[in-house]
Amino acid sequence: MNAMDLSNQKAKSAKACFLQEEKLMILKDDNSIEEVTIDMFLELIGDDPEKLREYRVFASDGWTMVTEIHMRSLWENEKVYKIKTRSSEIHTTAEAQILIIRSNKEVSVYANQIQDGDALEMFVPMRLKDDQKGKALTRQIMHQGVMKCEPLMKYPAKLVGFSTESGTISINDIITVTNRD
């Protein structure tokens, strides 16, 4: 898939929501990098939308700015999907589009369409030495097979959704598409 195809898929994506305990990598204004839960990130921002400018999140093409955050409760009869690989798992709503390899092609599918045999596209940040921290964080692309994708009903949690400048975000190292038209 070329960059144009990926951009078109990003533009068509529905908004995904994640559980507050999922993790993301953030880059602070002082160039320090930290892995935090979504809940911790929300605490850093507080009620001030201007605080979003102080942070970047890790995405498919490096660091990107969060442009919007929305929170909601789980709707009645809505399912949260638990998608598990060998080294990671993510809990998300069905609207989440996740980059996968299926039949040797890179595609974006909704969480509820993930099948056995799919491989999730993961961007794993490489830990840097202390004197090399900052925006030049390197990452390794990995594809890991799906071990389990199961719906969970009545999951007691608040959900958080993001829109980003790049249209993607790395949650628990799994790349998901964030933005829609």
Domain residue spans of the chain:
3-174
Question: How many other CB atoms are found less than 10 A from the CB of residue 178?
Answer: 28
pLDDT score, position 88: 85
Confidence of residue 47 (pLDDT cuts 50, 70, 90): confident
pLDDT in tens, 124-140: 665 554 444 554 555 66
Return the pLDDT at 124.
Answer: 65
- Burial (CB count <10 Å: 0-12, 13-18, 19+), residue 136: exposed
Structural domain 3-174, CATH architecture? Beta Complex (2.170)
Q: What is the pLDDT of residues 132-176, one digit of tens each?
A: 455 455 566 677 778 888 888 666 678 899 999 998 888 888 888
Q: How many CA atoms lie within 13 A of 121 on its CB side?
A: 23
The whole-number average pLDDT for the span 74-102 is 86
What does the pLDDT read at residue 64? Answer: 92
Least confident range of 23-27, 48-52, 136-140: 136-140
* Average pLDDT of span 78-95: 87
The answer, yes or no, to whether residue 105 has pLDDT greater than 70, is: yes
Per-residue confidence (pLDDT) for residue 10, from 0 to 100: 34
pTM of the model: 0.77
pLDDT for residue 138: 58
Burial 63-95 (b: 16+ CB within 10 A, else e): bbbbeeeeeeebeeebbbbbbbbeebebbbbbb
Read off the tokens for 4: 């144009």
Q: Can you give the pLDDT at residue 12?
A: 35
